[in-house]
Structure 1
Amino acid sequence: MLIRPLSSGDAAAFCFLQRSASQQPPSSDEPIMSDMYVRDADESCETLRSTAIRSTFGAFNKTELIGVASVQCHAIFEQRYVAHIWGVFVARHHRNTGVAKLLLAAAIAYAKSMQDVTCISLSVAADNVAAINLYRSLGFRETGSIFDDPLHEDVLQMGLFREATDAFDSATSLPAR
């Protein structure tokens, strides 16, 4: 398994994964790529370009892209201390194998390397128990709810905070696979 930042050369595989995700009916125990919109390969190239404030990580099984997770720091000066993880998705046949945890570890490490970041946030469907448990295992805690998300009845906001030093510092200290 290889986890690495995606680049414009991965655009076709990224689009294929998005399309396969958008064709799967959502259920409460499976993540969907709701924060990512199906794009063509040309449009995806810009999205996949890593910068000082954003990156999309991919998990590869040999040459197949099987999962993604993105992280982006707020560009607004007053909110530069917050990085947001979004678009976490693993192909159905690779779920429950630790892929999401490895992708999250990469995204968290990237966020922690950003200047001024003291909080890493994410949103998750409140009925997605598996994802919530995964986020909790990495040190995230609930910070609030949103009730008007059109895809789910309730969306849970979660955060990993620098003042919770042990969790923040150990969130990427995962055992070798």
Structure 2
Amino acid sequence: MEIKLLTPTDASAYWDLRLEALQQSPEAFATSYEEAIKRANPIEQVEKNLQTVGNYTFGAFHQNKLVGMVTLTQESYLKMKHRANIFAMYVSPQARGLGAGKALLIEAVNKAKSIEEIEQINLSVVSTNEKAKNLYSQLGFKVFGVEEKALKVANTYYDENHMALRLK
């Protein structure tokens, strides 16, 4: 398993994996698959996102194929620059159990630690996703709140746990 910071040349592979994520785990993301496929020029948008200052997207590669991803984004407002957020964490079902999720998260946390301003990392996870919650807890993230009915997929509501890792 190789973990690397994604660049614009990875945009197409990222977009394919993102669409897979939205189909496989619709309850885990705010964006729906239906919304995503309607986007104009999605690859160009991903290329732009992969070059945005303060935005770090890491990919997990297994046999040269992108099988996992996570994005770390530092807040841009002056009063919030001490915080970063974890978004779009996903590992393809065929790559689960290989340590990709943990490796991705460690890479994102280490990147945050390398940025002097960042003191805390926040994330949200669907309350029913025990494997993800356990992984986040293993790495020191703690629940600081629960948002009831945060997402509604079809006619099912999902609560989200808001978690934080204090670096300093």
Give your verdict on TM over 0.5: yes
Is the contact between residue 22 and residue 31 of structure 2 (CA under 8 Å) also seen in structure 1? no
Q: Distance in 2 between matches of 1:71 and 1:127?
A: 23
> Aligned ranges for residues 1-177 of structure 1 at < 5 Å?
1-24=1-24, 26=26, 32-34=28-30, 38=36, 40-49=42-51, 51=53, 53-151=54-152, 152-163=157-168
Runs of 4+ in 1 over 3 A off after TM superposition: 32-39
CA RMSD of aligned residues (A): 1.9
Structure 1 residue 26 displacement after superposition: 4.1
Structure 1 residue 50 displacement after superposition: 5.2
Structure 1 residue 148 displacement after superposition: 4.2
Q: Distance in 2 between matches of 1:63 and 1:23?
A: 23
Q: Distance in 1 between matches of 2:29 and 2:67?
A: 13
Structure 1 97/81 Cα, relative in aligned 2: closer, same or farther at 3 Å? same
Larger helix percent: 2
Structure 1 residue 42 displacement after superposition: 1.2
* Residue aligned with 1:117, SS: coil
Render the CA deviation track for 1:57-99: whole Å, top value 9, x for unaligned.
Answer: 0001122100000001110111111111111000011112210
Q: Structure 2: give runs of 5+ residues left out of the alignment.
A: none
Is the contact between residue 50 and residue 56 of structure 1 (CA under 8 Å) also seen in structure 2? no
Structure 1 82/137 Cα, relative in aligned 2: closer, same or farther at 3 Å? same
Q: Structure 1: give runs of 5+ residues left out of the alignment.
A: 164-177
Q: Distance in 2 between matches of 1:146 and 1:33?
A: 14
Amino acid at match of 1:158: M
* Residue aligned with 1:56, SS: strand
* Residue aligned with 2:76, SS: coil
Equivalenced residues, count: 158
Amino acid at match of 1:130: K
Question: % of aligned pairs identical?
Answer: 30
TM-score (norm 1): 0.82
Amino acid at match of 2:51: R
